[in-house]
Amino acid sequence: MAAVIAVVAIVAAGAVSAQPNPSLHLCVAAEENAVWPGGGTGIPPDDRSAESVVTGSNRFACDLYRRLADDSGSENLLFSPYSISSALAITYEGARGTTADEIRSVLHLPANDTLRREGFSRLDAGLKVAGANCTVQTANALWAEKTYPFLPEYIALAERWYSANATNLDFASAPDASRQAINRWVEGRTGGKIRDLLPPASIDPMTRLVITNAISFKGTWAGPFDADRTEEAEFRVGANETVEVPMMHGDAVYPYGETATLQVLELAYAHENGTGLSMLILLPKGGSLAAVEEALDPQNLSTLRRSLTRERIDVYLPKFTLDAGYRLPSTLAAMGMPTVFSPGADLSGMDGTKNLFISGAVHKAFVDVNEEGTEAAAATGFVGNTSAAPPDGGIPVFRADRPFIFLIRDDGSGSILFMGRVIRPVAA
């Protein structure tokens, strides 16, 4: 059984005002709760809204991957672009002027309000179909300071289009108790995988709003690996370093393809009506992961996936567990949206003032890949204050004994839910 979970929390702070009133804080946290149909609902041919949101979200996924890869050096990488973009979309609904323009540009959001809102709503609704062997759970929520007058239209918009119901908390008098309440909700929604999303002191008496977003996936491989065939093997971390890892082994018919520099393998997750989610693995033939990362974009991924053909493959894949965490303000600012993280931000669509800005952002992620499937979790928070040779039988070999990239995606919509790279696998 596999599980993937992601949570996003956004916190904004009030700008220093010429008025004697103290600065305000805005803390936003959004979580998604949905169950994915194994067969995938897909996007109707005439549904431009969902298609436009998926296209933009996948562009953002590749952009953010490259930025995080640059920032993290030779570290493992894992995040949920779907979770981050969903929470930021709710934030965008309250942004105006340059602040809104920058967020829309970085997220590649549709400028048309109806197209964007219907797109997120339909895509989220498409996820909320139960499957016996494969599920995706998503949820959005607003957590508001009970005495603060947010614009009713913003609260209503978040609830209507993003299913983000608002809960009042006492940030002013009980900030830490409020933080713990949100963390308990996150922990419960993620099956205990994401704990203490909001760290101590991230909520204080000036916090006004938290937007949380979480997504979880749980499923088994359509063709599980036989645990009896798992053996210790070397994984080449770098030119002069190897580590011993438990290497899973399977030979079956998989969607597979290769180029002069890359091998591509798709592993499907099971469902009684077919497969609706899959893991796409990109394995450089020469061990140069950087070259693959530089060319990583939605168009190339789409081209690679369309080129896959089903054939018998001898697969070697390490069991691995990744646990990652990031602070995102500087990353997102460098990508083109600095204003929302400064006192000059305009989030007046939330409260009618220009006192709020986002001062912090964190993302946590977890994944565990084993013989049965994939178990993973991720959480994000924005905090604001004031080559392989064939064996003898001729069957292609896919031996992931060196750094590789992986994506977990919905086959119906094409949306990338989770994305990461394995540099140094560590099994649970």
Quick: pLDDT tens for 112-161.
Answer: 999 999 999 998 887 765 566 777 788 889 988 898 889 999 999 999 99
Q: For residue 391, what pLDDT band results from cuts at 50, 70 and 90?
A: very low
Which residue type sits at 217? F
pLDDT tops 60 at residue 195: yes
Q: Are residues 235 and 271 in the same domain?
A: yes
Is residue 147 included in any domain, yes or no? yes
* Mean pLDDT in residue range 160-170: 94
Q: Are residues 235 and 175 in the same domain?
A: no
Q: Are residues 96 and 170 in the same domain?
A: yes
Q: Are residues 185 and 292 in the same domain?
A: no
Cβ partners under 8 Å of residue 401, min gap 6: 233, 234, 235, 236, 247, 316, 318
Is residue 304 included in any domain, yes or no? yes
381 vs 193: which has the higher pLDDT? 193
Is residue 428 included in any domain, yes or no? no
pLDDT tops 70 at residue 11: no
425 vs 193: which has the higher pLDDT? 425
* Mean pLDDT in residue range 163-173: 93
Structural domain that includes position 197 = 4-219+321-382
Is residue 427 included in any domain, yes or no? no
Q: What is the domain count for the chain?
A: 2
Q: Are residues 90 and 201 in the same domain?
A: yes
206 vs 163: which has the higher pLDDT? 163
Task: Report the C-alpha gap between 413 and 123 in whole angstroms.
Answer: 8
Is residue 162 included in any domain, yes or no? yes
* Mean pLDDT in residue range 230-245: 92
Q: For residue 24, what pLDDT band results from cuts at 50, 70 and 90?
A: very low
Q: Are residues 370 and 408 in the same domain?
A: no
* Mean pLDDT in residue range 244-255: 95
Which residue type sits at 282? L
- Tell me what pLDDT residue 199 has: 85
Task: Report the C-alpha gap between 160 and 121 in whole angstroms.
Answer: 8
Q: Closest Cα to residue 356, out of 27, 47, 3, 7? A: 27
Q: What is the CATH number of the domain that holds 100?
A: 3.30.497.10
Q: Which of 23-37, 53-67, 171-185, 295-309 has the lowest mean pLDDT?
A: 23-37
Is residue 26 included in any domain, yes or no? yes
Contact between residue 343 and residue 17 where contact means Cβ atoms under 8 Å apart: no
Task: Report the C-alpha gap between 213 and 194 in whole angstroms.
Answer: 12
Cβ partners under 8 Å of residue 146, min gap 6: 168, 169, 170
Is residue 314 included in any domain, yes or no? yes
Q: What is the CATH number of the domain that holds 242?
A: 2.30.39.10
pLDDT tops 50 at residue 40: no
Task: Report the C-alpha gap between 279 and 313 in whole angstroms.
Answer: 16
Q: Average pLDDT over the chain, rounded to whole?
A: 82
- Tell me what pLDDT residue 38 has: 33
* Mean pLDDT in residue range 225-232: 95
- Tell me what pLDDT residue 97 has: 97
Q: Are residues 161 and 241 in the same domain?
A: no
pTM, two decimals, is 0.87
pLDDT tops 70 at residue 274: no
Rounded to 5 degrees, φ, ψ at 421 are -140, 150
- Tell me what pLDDT residue 203 has: 86
Question: What does the pLDDT look like over 277-288, one tens digit per residue?
Answer: 899 999 999 768
Q: Closest Cα to residue 26, out of 339, 364, 416, 358? A: 358
Strands 241-258 and 262-268: antiparallel
Q: Are residues 37 and 72 in the same domain?
A: yes
Q: Are residues 59 and 192 in the same domain?
A: yes
Q: Are residues 54 and 184 in the same domain?
A: yes
Is residue 342 included in any domain, yes or no? yes
Q: Are residues 259 and 289 in the same domain?
A: yes
Q: For residue 39, what pLDDT band results from cuts at 50, 70 and 90?
A: very low
Q: Are residues 312 and 331 in the same domain?
A: no
Q: For residue 427, what pLDDT band results from cuts at 50, 70 and 90?
A: confident
Question: What does the pLDDT look like over 302-352, one tens digit per residue?
Answer: 999 999 999 999 999 999 988 887 888 899 999 999 999 888 899 999 999
- Tell me what pLDDT residue 21 has: 30
